[in-house]
Structure 1
Amino acid sequence: MPMTASKSNIGGSRGEPLRSASAIVSSTESGQHLLKIDGYSRTKDVPTGSHIKSRSFRVGGHSWHILYYPNGLNSTCSDCISIFLKLDHNVPEGVRAQYTFSLLDHGGKPVPRYTFGSEHTFRDEDWGFPRFIRRDELERSEHLLKDDRFTIRCDLTVTKEIQTMDIDTAAIPQPPVVVVPPSDLHRHLGGLLVTGEGADVTFEVDTRTFAAHRCVLMARSPVFHAELSLSSLTTTNDGAAVAVQIEDMEAQDFEAFLHYIYTDSLPEMKGSEAAAMMLPDLVAAANRYKMERLRLVCEDKLSGFVNVTTVAVILAFAVEHHCLGLKEVCLKFLEDPANLREVIKTDGLEHLSKSCPSVLKDMITKLAAAQ
């Protein structure tokens, strides 16, 4: 009797391979603890090298507490307050954690000058900052010490134990049969701007000429829609549009403006100085041609230039051009007493008093109400 070979169905149904999956999971957990020192002057009786321990708090599955040294950790920092973080129990393999101690002002906001952070693998030791703040600096500051009390905030992020777990293969998304690439409309429209193919309107800016497409401009800006409509635009005998004169922009700014119109993005700007000079002009263009998104894009980028030397000028600009978001960024920057002191040194408030006195008055009123 002849023998026949039977088919072996190794794997899943219909010959499909068996599928399984697992994941290696490394996660973190963050927490925050406020340590309020009420009756600071009385804690100064604690000797140098001795501490007062906070109540325990849990983050990342572990218990922690803060060590407060009113007269410093040792004789080398006896003129300072020392702050340390300690794990409540010994973990031989260690617990990796990032921690930040911040001295809070009366409004509950961290003071940048007295905000310190670090990262450490904790076992049975404590880690922190021996010279967190000098006692005389704390006692002189009305913004930090009030009614003989102040507050320190500890922000803690703990790396949890790495785990390996099974994954239900049914929950794993399968790669699509048809892969749709991201939109490249901006690339095609940008190509039209570069080549000038099919252009039916030109702009003369300074000594340069830019070819563009009327339908694109009209679709992007209601102002261009009105100015470039066929009924209002004069044409030459051969049907080509007469060049439009742009008087209130420089050529490089108008070039960037056209780039945004065609691609919905700003061109790359070489160096922060170039960006800082061009962005205000683009805000003005966005307002002139009623392009709200362009104005917001520029506002967002200008927010990154706010510092003690620029905040007064940028705030005055934001008020003049109705950039509410940028104005709010500047005001929040000035709410920090440390920043405000530095701005005063640069004569920034004098600039504000001349350019936008109403804003300065509102800011002073707001600061006074926060005290």
Structure 2
Amino acid sequence: MHSNNNSEGSRNNNNNTTTTMSILSSRTSSRSVTETVNGSHKFVIKGYSLAKGMGVGKHIASETFTVGGYQWAIYFYPDGKNPEDNSAYVSVFIALASEGTDVRALFELTLLDQSPNGKHKVHSHFDRSLESGPYTLKYRGSMWGYKRFFKRAQLEASSFLKDDCLKINCTVGVVVSSIDCSKLNTIHVPESDIGSHFGMLLENEEGSDIIFSVGGERFHAHKLVLAARSTAFENEFFNKMEEDDCDVVVTDMEPKVFKALLHFIYRDALIEDEELFMSRSSFLPSISETFAAKLLAAAEKYDLPRLKLMCESVLCKDISIDSVAYILALADRYNAAELKSICLQFSAENLVAVMQSDGFEYLKENCPLLQSELLKTVAGCEEEFSGEGKCRSVWAQFSDGVEDNDRSVRQQTWENGVERGQNLWVNLSDGVNNDRSPGQEA
């Protein structure tokens, strides 16, 4: 009996041990993390004096930018947002430009002092404790900002306004919450710095085995790096050049363009020089002489599709009624498909205004084949319009400028293809440029 009792006690102890181990092994942990996803946007307002007088409550909007999965825009009111202020103040707001409900965020608006003093005007949520927490935007179009951001008279006499230009920086911090089970212990992995390492290789010229002579300047580089990045260089080095040939003369490119080309090849980024990429809309016929256009040509020559897209992105920002025809011709010349498509769509959607521009005359004289492509795009816009799309009918645009009693041009169709379209093109051109009804005989 005693022996049995001992055995039973032993079993009880084992059971207790098992139960304790089970409790310990089932322990888990989690952590709620609430933080902000931050992003910034720089908004440059050129021609401030021309924007004045547009009216109280009317604004100039920046391009939309994305932070935290939502789109945002900066609204600048030259005559203020509040009618009671009688245009005595300028107003600045940040608006939620995409769909969203109860989006919580922190904001910072900075008007940049353009003098060497750098005494910027800053309104920020980030550097102070908010009693009621982050600001909540209820729906698309909700805004945060200041009706009385700056007295207009003081602004116009200050160093914030320089060369009729204002610069506003906006930072948005979208509040996000998550349950984090994995970050109790973390090891931070920095961003790749391979571009900076290859960039130093270019700058130091260490191990270079080829020299390019461009416009009197010499650039040292590495055949293997160039060949790895460009099939054009690969073909030139390993299929055409002699193995011991290490000098190449480039006659169709400026030194600054070739330098930017090498910068991209080694660093996978555009060269950081705002002056080189500044818009030059006032010199439209010479848009092919802009730095972005020349770099686009270089990217096409050396088969660098990513660099081409970067240049297309820069040129795309300069598209307007006056410039689109010149940029379209440029895009066609260098096989810039994305840029060309945007130019064609923009031209089709604004056809009447584009046809009245000098660029349109340039297009007709120098790039006649692009007319057919533009006509096909116009036809596509018409189909989209008839299918209740968002594109405004080109005929609706055109009829705005002709007499109501003669719009027979509306009756023409695209059924006979490009040849039929070319006749229509002539009618449209005559109607716009010669101030006669499109249906009237010459």
TM normalised by structure 2 equals 0.45
The one-letter code of the counterpart of 2:369 is S
Instruction: Give the CA deviation at 1:297.
Output: 2.1
Q: Could you tell me which residue of structure 2 aligns to residue 357 of structure 1?
A: 368
- Cα distance in 1, alignment partners of residues 240 and 176 from structure 2: 70
- Cα distance in 1, alignment partners of residues 264 and 316 from structure 2: 19
The one-letter code of the counterpart of 1:174 is L
- Equivalent residue of 1:229, what SS? helix
- Cα distance in 2, alignment partners of residues 333 and 228 from structure 1: 41
User: Which residue of 260, 280, 302 corresponds with 1:289?
Assistant: 302
* Distance of aligned partners of 1:322 and 1:18 in 2 relative to their CA distance in 1, 3 Å threshold: closer
User: Which residue of 268, 271, 281 corresponds with 1:267?
Assistant: 271
- Cα distance in 2, alignment partners of residues 221 and 169 from structure 1: 43
Instruction: Give the CA deviation at 1:353.
Output: 0.8
Any gaps of 5 or more consecutive residues in structure 1? 1-11, 31-58, 62-94, 101-117, 121-162, 236-240
Instruction: Give the CA deviation at 1:185.
Output: 1.0
* Distance of aligned partners of 1:13 and 1:233 in 2 relative to their CA distance in 1, 3 Å threshold: same
More strand, by proportion: 1
- Equivalent residue of 1:334, what SS? helix
1:186-239 deviation line (CA, Å, top 9, x unaligned) = 11110011111111110100110011111111211222123223983363xxxx
Q: Which runs of 4+ in 1 moved over 6 A?
A: 16-19, 27-30
Instruction: Give the CA deviation at 1:341.
Output: 3.7
Instruction: Give the CA deviation at 1:349.
Output: 1.5
* Distance of aligned partners of 1:359 and 1:348 in 2 relative to their CA distance in 1, 3 Å threshold: same
- 1:1-371 equivalent positions in 2, closer than 5 A: 21=32, 168=179, 170=181, 173-177=183-187, 179-229=188-238, 232-233=241-242, 235=244, 241-271=245-275, 272-273=277-278, 277-337=290-350, 340-367=351-378, 370=382, 371=393
- Cα distance in 2, alignment partners of residues 259 and 252 from structure 1: 10
- Cα distance in 2, alignment partners of residues 312 and 323 from structure 1: 14
Q: Could you tell me which residue of structure 2 aligns to residue 137 of structure 1?
A: none
More helix, by proportion: 2
Q: Could you tell me which residue of structure 1 aligns to residue 89 of structure 2?
A: none
1:221-265 deviation line (CA, Å, top 9, x unaligned) = 222123223983363xxxxx5421001111000000011111111
The count of corresponding residues between Structure 1 and Structure 2 is: 233
- Cα distance in 2, alignment partners of residues 348 and 366 from structure 1: 18
- Cα distance in 1, alignment partners of residues 269 and 180 from structure 2: 40
- Cα distance in 2, alignment partners of residues 368 and 221 from structure 1: 38
- Cα distance in 2, alignment partners of residues 290 and 24 from structure 1: 43
Larger RCO (CA within 8 A; separation ≥ 6): 1
CA contact (8 A) 1:29 1:60 kept: no
Instruction: Give the CA deviation at 1:22.
Output: 6.9
* Distance of aligned partners of 1:342 and 1:198 in 2 relative to their CA distance in 1, 3 Å threshold: same
Instruction: Give the CA deviation at 1:367.
Output: 2.6
The one-letter code of the counterpart of 2:253 is M
- Cα distance in 1, alignment partners of residues 24 and 234 from structure 2: 62
Instruction: Give the CA deviation at 1:343.
Output: 2.7
- Cα distance in 2, alignment partners of residues 24 and 213 from structure 1: 45
- Equivalent residue of 2:241, what SS? coil
- Equivalent residue of 1:363, what SS? helix
Instruction: Give the CA deviation at 1:270.
Output: 2.2
CA contact (8 A) 1:28 1:60 kept: no
- Cα distance in 2, alignment partners of residues 364 and 231 from structure 1: 43
* Distance of aligned partners of 1:164 and 1:259 in 2 relative to their CA distance in 1, 3 Å threshold: closer
CA contact (8 A) 1:318 1:326 kept: yes
TM normalised by structure 1 equals 0.52
- Cα distance in 2, alignment partners of residues 274 and 213 from structure 1: 33
Give the fraction of aligned pairs with identical amino acids, expressed as a percent: 30
